[in-house]
């Protein structure tokens, strides 16, 4: 997501001077901003070489690791917040990653592209093609996004696993009007942002 | 011989010697009443004295880390890939100091020096050392050079152990610790390899219980064998396969005739061993492997690495190499994990490469990229 509108929202849920772990930290931009604005002590996990170099350049703590290998190196409740922005759909077992996040962190913040968004639905239902949208700009055969879910799917998983939803915000660039998104998030949200705890 | 000095080289450098007359009390309780440290420096110390970087060498390293000592040198210093103008440890930005550790055999006080109290070679009677002693002597060197705080202390393997020890012994004297292909202590297998190397040296008749300099002999065969074993463990099966395969250096397998065969890999190992046996002191080799074996970062901290690292004040950068089986990535991950648990700033890179432990000395692009990025961050902090 180019504008990373989700960053602004989730930053409100991070407590000042807390310990934060960011899974799939990219170039470290979010942690850099959290360090400046919230004085957090942050660590990012990344496995893309260019992004690791970018994170080092940005002065953040970056740990080279593949998220699919789990978070076994991290002890229970060792972070105040574990974040994962726009990476849920690229890991091989999103449910296990979520559980690991909730084990390591007291709270978690997850953002993901909503596959139930009307544009995605239109692609599949009318055109009979896998969705290619601004948020999901890949063909089916080359996409790193291997586990899509809708807002509703995600909430079912949370319910099944006893994960508590503390907050949720839906973001859509096309529908800045809040009412539509909140009324029918599964259809209108482009990005879903969840604040979770055990 | 370098026909001309490459542009990104520190060029011709002259080793310097610092004499110390203040006694150095060692961890073993022994006291070195006086000693000398040979070192090289590259780059310029800035007016604030805030850009100094200390390089800690590994087992067979020396003070000659970069550049050339003369135009007759066949090769530059041992870490020339990483130290020089525009390189990861950029000598345009940093003032780099690389000492030869005491107990070494390249100029600093060690077993191949005369003990002023007996008038004889120290030989095997040189006091046993620990990493902590090197760190202490390096701190004395820093005092003499007027460096209160290092911008960074950098080292690979045994050098990385010194870096970690620095962060605990003198936490306020460094801002960054770069620990490459290292470990908080050696595994049993690692100690075992060292013991095989020591046994090889001791079983050479020319070793003379360590008094070989007095007797005028050199345990070349033992040292060569020790080096061959060591060198072998710094490489990997895959790498040796691609470098040597089953290629023959001499002889053949023609049937009906016998032409003695030597594989390329045999010739290579022989050459490495022989080269080392004339350049290194056997007592130093035995002692350095002992220093490695004895090192245990958290021993004095209830064997708790988190408790140990709680004393550190600097930021850390830890690097490992996927095929390094002497200092495996798992050992570096232990360092990284303890630092995170201790709430210290740490970045960690795990470089995929076939070169094994040797990788930390080699020009491997992804390694140089992350190393360069981290050092640039340090340089940026100095400028701002």
Question: What is the ipTM, given to two decimal places?
Answer: 0.93
Per the model's pLDDT, the better-predicted residue between A131 and B368 turns out to be: B368
Q: Do A56 and B336 touch (CB under 8 A)?
A: no
d(CA A6, CA A20): 17
Per-residue pLDDT, A183: 63
Q: How many CA atoms lie within 13 A of A25 on its CB side?
A: 32
Domain ranges of chain A: 5-114+150-197
pLDDT greater than 80 at residue A179: no
Fold of A5-114+150-197: Rossmann fold (3.40.50)
Task: Supply the pTM of this predicted model.
Answer: 0.94
Is the confidence at residue B362, as pLDDT, over 90?
yes
Interface list for A 51-90 with B (CB within 8 A): 52-53, 55-57, 59-65, 73-75, 78
Q: Are B49 and B73 in contact (CB under 8 A)?
A: no
**Closest Cα to residue B49, out of B193, B191, B143, B149?**
B149
Mind telling me how many Å the CA of A195 is from chain B's nearest CA?
24
Query: Does A62 contact B366 at a Cβ distance shorter than 8 Å?
Result: no
Q: What are A25-69's pLDDT values in tens digits?
A: 999 999 999 999 999 999 999 999 999 999 999 999 999 999 888
Look-up of token digits 């994170």 = A55
State the sign of the Cα–Cα–Cα–Cα dihedral B209, B210, B216, B221: positive
Whether A74 sits inside 8 A of B333 (CB atoms) is: no
Q: What is the pLDDT of residue B347?
A: 98
pLDDT higher for A188 or B110? B110
How are beta strands B114-115 and B95-99 bridged, if at all?
unpaired
pLDDT score recorded for residue B242: 94
Q: Which domains does chain B have, with CATH numbers?
A: 16-185+297-383 (3.40.50.1820), 198-287 (1.10.1740.110)
A128 versus A191: which is more confidently predicted? A191
Q: Which pLDDT value is given to residue B329?
A: 98
pLDDT band at B54 (very low <50, low <70, confident <90, very high): very high
- B92's tokens: 């345009």
CB B126 within 8 A of CB B52: no
Evaluate if residue A1 carries a pLDDT over 60: no
Q: What is the pLDDT of residues A73-98, one digit of tens each?
A: 999 999 999 999 988 888 889 999 99
Spatial CA neighbour of B64 closest among B80, B52, B51, B53: B80
The confidence score (pLDDT) of residue B338 equals 98
Q: Do B377 and A64 touch (CB under 8 A)?
A: no
At B17, phi and psi to the nearest 5? -125, 130
Query: What's the rounded Cα separation, in Å, for the pair A54 and A51?
Result: 5
HSE, CB side, 13 Å, CA atoms: give it for residue A105.
Answer: 29
pLDDT of B184 above 60: yes
Give yes or no: B157 in active site: yes
Identify whether the C-beta of residue B197 lies closer than 8 Å to the C-beta of residue B228.
no
Measured between beta carbons, the chain A residues lying within 8 angstroms of B371 are: none
What digits encode the pLDDT tens for the residues B285-341?
999 999 999 999 999 999 999 999 999 999 999 999 999 999 999 999 999 999 999
């Amino acid at each position: 997501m180019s504008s990373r509108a989700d960053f602004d929202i989730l930053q409100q849920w991070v407590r000042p001077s807390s310990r934060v772990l960011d899974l799939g930290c990219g170039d470290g931009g979010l942690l850099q901003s959290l360090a400046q604005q919230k004085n957090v002590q942050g660590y990012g996990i990344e496995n893309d070489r260019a992004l690791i170099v970018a994170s080092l350049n940005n002065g953040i703590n970056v740990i080279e690791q593949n998220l699919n290998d789990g978070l076994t190196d991290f002890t229970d409740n060792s972070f105040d917040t574990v974040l994962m922005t726009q990476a849920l759909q690229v890991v091989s077992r999103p449910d296990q990653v979520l559980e690991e996040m909730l084990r390591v962190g007291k709270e978690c913040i997850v953002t993901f592209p909503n596959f139930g968004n009307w544009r995605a639905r239109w692609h599949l239902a009318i055109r009979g093609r896998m969705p290619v949208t601004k948020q999901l700009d890949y063909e089916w055969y080359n996409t790193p996004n291997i586990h899509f879910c809708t807002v509703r799917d995600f909430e079912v998983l949370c319910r099944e696993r006893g994960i508590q939803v503390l907050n949720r915000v839906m973001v859509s660039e096309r529908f800045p009007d809040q009412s539509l998104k909140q009324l029918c998030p599964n259809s209108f949200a482009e990005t879903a942002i969840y604040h979770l705890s055990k | 011989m370098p026909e001309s000095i490459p542009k990104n080289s520190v060029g011709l450098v002259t080793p310097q010697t610092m004499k110390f007359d203040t006694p150095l009390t060692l961890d073993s309780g022994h006291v070195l009443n006086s000693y000398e440290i040979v070192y090289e420096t590259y780059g310029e110390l800035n007016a604030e004295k805030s850009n100094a970087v200390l390089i800690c060498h590994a087992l067979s390293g020396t003070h000659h880390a970069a550049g050339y000592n003369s135009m007759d040198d066949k090769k530059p210093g041992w870490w020339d890939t990483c130290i020089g103008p525009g390189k990861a440890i950029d000598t345009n930005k940093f003032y780099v100091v690389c000492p030869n550790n005491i107990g070494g055999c390249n100029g600093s006080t060690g077993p191949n020096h005369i003990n002023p109290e007996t008038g004889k070679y120290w030989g095997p009677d040189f006091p046993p050392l620990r990493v902590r002693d090197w760190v202490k002597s390096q701190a004395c060197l820093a005092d003499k050079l007027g460096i209160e705080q290092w911008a960074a202390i950098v080292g690979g393997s045994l050098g990385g152990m010194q870096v970690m020890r620095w962060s605990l012994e003198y936490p306020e004297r460094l801002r960054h610790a770069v620990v490459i292909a290292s470990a908080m202590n050696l595994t049993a297998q690692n100690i075992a390899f060292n013991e095989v190397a020591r046994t090889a040296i001791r079983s050479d008749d020319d070793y003379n219980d360590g008094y070989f300099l007095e007797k005028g002999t050199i345990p070349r065969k033992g040292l060569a064998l020790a080096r061959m074993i060591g060198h072998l463990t710094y490489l990997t099966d895959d790498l040796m396969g691609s470098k040597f395969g089953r290629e023959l250096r001499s002889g053949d397998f023609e049937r009906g005739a016998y032409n003695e065969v030597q594989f390329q890999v045999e010739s290579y190992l022989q050459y490495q061993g022989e080269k080392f046996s004339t350049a290194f002191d056997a007592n130093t080799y035995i002692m350095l492997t002992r220093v490695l074996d004895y090192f245990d970062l958290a021993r004095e901290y209830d064997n708790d690495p988190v408790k140990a690292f709680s004393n550190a004040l600097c930021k850390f950068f830890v690097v490992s190499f996927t095929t390094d089986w002497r200092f495996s990535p798992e050992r570096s991950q232990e360092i990284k994990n303890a630092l995170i648990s201790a709430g210290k700033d740490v970045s960690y890179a795990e470089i995929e490469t076939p070169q094994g432990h040797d990788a930390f000395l080699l020009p491997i692009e992804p390694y140089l990229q992350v190393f360069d990025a981290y050092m640039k961050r340090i340089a940026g902090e100095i400028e701002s």
